[in-house]
C-alpha cells in the first residue's frame, strides 16, 4: 500500500508527540478512525478537523486560497 506524504507525516508526528491516532482524535473531539480516514485520502482533505489535527501535532498551518478561472 502506498502512503501519501500527509499520512507519513502525521504518523511520524504522532510518534514524536507520544500519541496514538486514537489519542489525537480524542484530543480534537473526533475518533482515531476519522483521523485515519482523513490522512489516507489520496488528494488530501483540508477541513476543520484536519487543521485541528495539525495544530495538535504542533504544525503551523497556513491556508492559501487560489481562485481559478474555469473558462
Indicate whether 62 belongs to any domain: no
The count of domains in the chain is 1
Indicate whether 32 belongs to any domain: yes
Indicate whether 63 belongs to any domain: no
The reported pTM is: 0.61
Indicate whether 70 belongs to any domain: no
Extract the C-alpha cell encoding 35.
483521523
Q: What is the pLDDT of residue 52?
A: 80
Segments forming the whole domain that contains residue 42:
5-56
Residue range 4-36, pLDDT digits in tens: 677 888 888 888 889 888 898 898 898 888 888
Q: What is the pLDDT of residue 69?
A: 72
Distance between CA atoms of residues 28 and 44, nearest Å: 19
Amino acid at each position: 500500500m502506498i502512503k501519501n506524504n500527509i499520512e507519513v507525516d502525521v504518523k511520524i508526528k504522532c510518534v514524536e508527540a507520544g500519541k496514538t491516532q486514537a489519542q489525537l482524535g480524542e484530543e480534537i473531539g473526533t475518533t482515531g478512525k476519522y483521523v485515519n480516514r482523513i490522512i489516507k485520502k489520496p488528494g488530501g482533505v483540508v477541513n476543520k478537523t484536519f487543521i485541528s489535527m495539525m495544530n495538535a501535532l504542533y504544525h503551523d498551518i497556513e491556508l492559501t486560497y487560489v481562485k481559478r478561472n474555469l473558462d
